[in-house]
A and B are shown apart, each in its own frame.
Chain A
Amino acid sequence: MKRKILLFICFILSLSIGFGIGIVAFSTENIKNSIDGLVDKDFSDGTINTEQIGQLQYFTVSLDDEIYVKNLLFNGNIHDNLDSVRVYYTDNANKEFNAQNSFFPKIIIKNDNYYLEIDKNVTAIRLELLPSDTVENIKVNPKILNIHTVNTILFTILPLVISFSAVSLIFDRESLKKDILAIKRYKYLLYELVLKDIKTKYRRSVLGLLWSVLNPLLMMIVLTAVFSNIIRVEVEGGFALFYLTGYLLFNFISESTNFSLNTILQAAQLIKKVYIPKYIFPLQKCLFSFVNMIFSLTAFVIVFTIFMIWGNVSLNSSMLLFPIPLILIFLFSLGCCFILSSLVVFFRDIGHIWGILLTVWMYASPIIYPISILPDWLVSAIKLNPLYYYIDMFRNIMIYGRIPAFADFIIALLFSVASVLVGTVIFRKCQDKFVMYI
């Protein structure tokens, strides 16, 4: 009875949090912007610099500082065709433009406004138009169109999931506490198990540790060749680093979940004959993959250094935040490992299904493509994918030197917490039955 009331309260609370945030974000643009920690900049006061050179018109707006601009919008009129609009941008302080830093943006027309997708860190932007076109009231802002629905959904569902699993765990707190405290006694075991995994991995292959660095590097070289020369995907900071960051994080999820599929079955001998808190085993695989990922980050360091010498990227203080996305993705993956490792004991074919799901998941995550090349509805769909938030956060911090948007950080955090809690609930429901099915 008490439990039902509690669940009901959680339900109402989550709904109100989600819709509250959604509605507020929807109705007042400015609050949404302050969630992002960034503000609109309005140039309707006449600070637009207009020039005519030859057959073309140029409209330049200049920002005080370098800021991240998601969209540029203006009212005016484009007579001929939208494809003739070209955007120059610069991120250096003296605000010089060159043809290299220019592109033909995606343009959306809404309520007589032209929305141009910029998605860059800039100090100044210049529009190139045909003489017949007119431009007034330029505004730049960090908003992403149509994001409100996604946020509303996530801010409703995630708190709902979190509170429901938390309630379930609270009613089970005595034995939960016992299980968690057991880690004290079994920390050496966990350490031995992870060490054993690492030793067997690096003992088996001749290249050893080198392999976990070479593997991502080779993948990166091949895909960079394909994507930046043949398919021509334009990505800020170059495709190589962009791909490498996404690959490393996705590889962690894929490796840890795949390893933990068999972990309980492999530990059958131990589980059947001695008491060991069973969560040790998925935790072991997740930690092992995490260590692997840390090794592989060497590849990132190498490529980053090369690019730094070339001058494409530079060191930034935001890089100090790097543990945050890594810890968050670790927690998220741990939850997945809990769920998979327990379900597979009862249904052995989950392994095959998971293999297929992972492939789908990979293409549904912005690893080999930036979301800026996608239509709006797809962007919204991808923003329901938890991996998007971890990868985006990691890239922002490591490549672009940007502090991630606050709302995105909160969503990533919620995803991690939800995953761990749901995983714990499912695992604890199953763990007493393992012994009879292995």
Chain B
Amino acid sequence: MDNNIAIEVKNVTMRFNMPHEKVDNIKEFFIKLLKGQLRFEEFVALDNVSLTVKKGDVVGLIGLNGSGKSTLLKVISGILKPSSGTAEISGTISPLIELGAGFDFELTTKENIFLNAAVLGFDRNFITQKYDEILDFAELRDFENVAIKNFSSGMIARLGFSIATLVKPDILIVDEILAVGDFIFQQKCEKRISELMMGGTTVLFVSHSIEQVERICKTVCWIEHGKVKMIGPAKEVTEIYKNTKA
């Protein structure tokens, strides 16, 4: 991989097997197998997608619901293994895919900070030092010992964001989680993201708020039905996207 390339997605196809009926035990499996009813329907969520992101770029992903944005981010961050094609990244990655990624909803804020930090590969001492910083950024000091299953979506997003951006990652993936934060927190996050960008972090950004995408991203990639429909400078792509939407 080229030295100044952060993410390289090559011809990635992601197929999901969708069984007609859910078979999850041995008995049913053999009954279905004997009757010859063990059929799957294939669903192609990503169809031959290629995407190259240079280091330090901020790329927005847009597209309608179910078009495959989150699936692509999951392939990039290694959560899903593509059915074919390759996705390579260079450096450390902080994936904020969906709300509450890396959290255990039964645990308290405090326990989750340590858990999530360990998921990102930080040790206990380091997090103990940074603990206050995380709580303050997320503005959750009063909820330190509350189980996060009782949190509002915005509060979960804050916590996730403040841990994921604590140490400058080489690649930051933000999937819609900012949408649930209030406007003050969104501003705070945008500021953090720009700081990271200055420091050379590559950002992949998914949002249904076109204004936000235009404000933050230089390049935008538009995905439709699992295919890259268009990729280019932010303004150009979003203009066309907005028009088709109407």
Residues of A within 8 A of B (CB): 185-186, 188-189, 191-193, 196, 269-276, 346-350, 353, 432, 435-437
Taken residue by residue from 111 to 146, chain B's Cβ proximity to chain A (1 for < 8 Å, 0 otherwise) reads as: 100110111011110000000000000000000000
**Given contacts A188-B122, A275-B95, A436-B16, are A269 and B104 in contact (CB under 8 A)?**
yes
- The CA of A116 and the CA of B122, in the complex, are separated in Å by 63
| Inter-subunit contact B79/A347 (CB<8 Å) | no
Contact of A437 among B24, B102, B104, B115 (CB under 8 A): B24
| Inter-subunit contact B26/A349 (CB<8 Å) | yes
Taken residue by residue from 54 to 79, chain B's Cβ proximity to chain A (1 for < 8 Å, 0 otherwise) reads as: 00000000000000000000000111
Contact of B100 among A189, A269, A346, A348 (CB under 8 A): A269
Q: Which of B93, B101, B119, B122 has the most CB of A within 10 A?
A: B119
| Inter-subunit contact A275/B77 (CB<8 Å) | yes
The total number of A-B Cβ pairs within 8 Å is 70
Contact of A275 among B25, B79, B118 (CB under 8 A): B79
| Inter-subunit contact A273/B24 (CB<8 Å) | no
**Given contacts A348-B25, A350-B26, are A432 and B81 in contact (CB under 8 A)?**
yes
| Inter-subunit contact B29/A189 (CB<8 Å) | no
Contact of B79 among A185, A274, A346 (CB under 8 A): A274
Enumerate 18 A-B pairs (CB-CB under 8 Å) in ascending A order.
A186-B119, A186-B121, A188-B117, A189-B115, A189-B118, A192-B118, A270-B104, A271-B79, A274-B77, A274-B95, A274-B102, A276-B119, A346-B24, A349-B27, A350-B26, A353-B26, A435-B79, A436-B17
CB distance from B31 to the nearest CB of A (A): 13
**Given contacts A269-B100, A273-B79, A273-B100, are A192 and B24 in contact (CB under 8 A)?**
no
- The CA of A437 and the CA of B79, in the complex, are separated in Å by 13
In the complex, what residues of B have CB within 8 A of residue A274's CB? 77, 79, 95, 97, 101-102, 119
**Given contacts A185-B121, A432-B81, A436-B17, are A273 and B26 in contact (CB under 8 A)?**
no
In the complex, what residues of B have CB within 8 A of residue A186's CB? 118-119, 121
Residues of B within 8 A of A (CB): 16-17, 24-27, 29, 77-81, 93, 95, 97-98, 100-105, 111, 114-115, 117-119, 121-124
In the complex, what residues of B have CB within 8 A of residue A349's CB? 25-27
In the complex, what residues of B have CB within 8 A of residue A193's CB? 118
**Given contacts A185-B121, A349-B26, are A272 and B79 in contact (CB under 8 A)?**
yes
| Inter-subunit contact A347/B78 (CB<8 Å) | no
Contact of A347 among B26, B100, B117 (CB under 8 A): B26
In the complex, what residues of B have CB within 8 A of residue A347's CB? 24-26, 29
Task: For B160, give the chain A residue with the smallest CB separation.
Answer: A273
| Inter-subunit contact A273/B102 (CB<8 Å) | yes
| Inter-subunit contact B101/A273 (CB<8 Å) | yes
Task: For A175, give the chain B residue with the smallest CB separation.
Answer: B81
- The CA of A274 and the CA of B25, in the complex, are separated in Å by 27
**Nearest 6 Cβ contacts at the A-B interface:** A273-B101, A275-B78, A349-B25, A189-B118, A185-B121, A432-B81
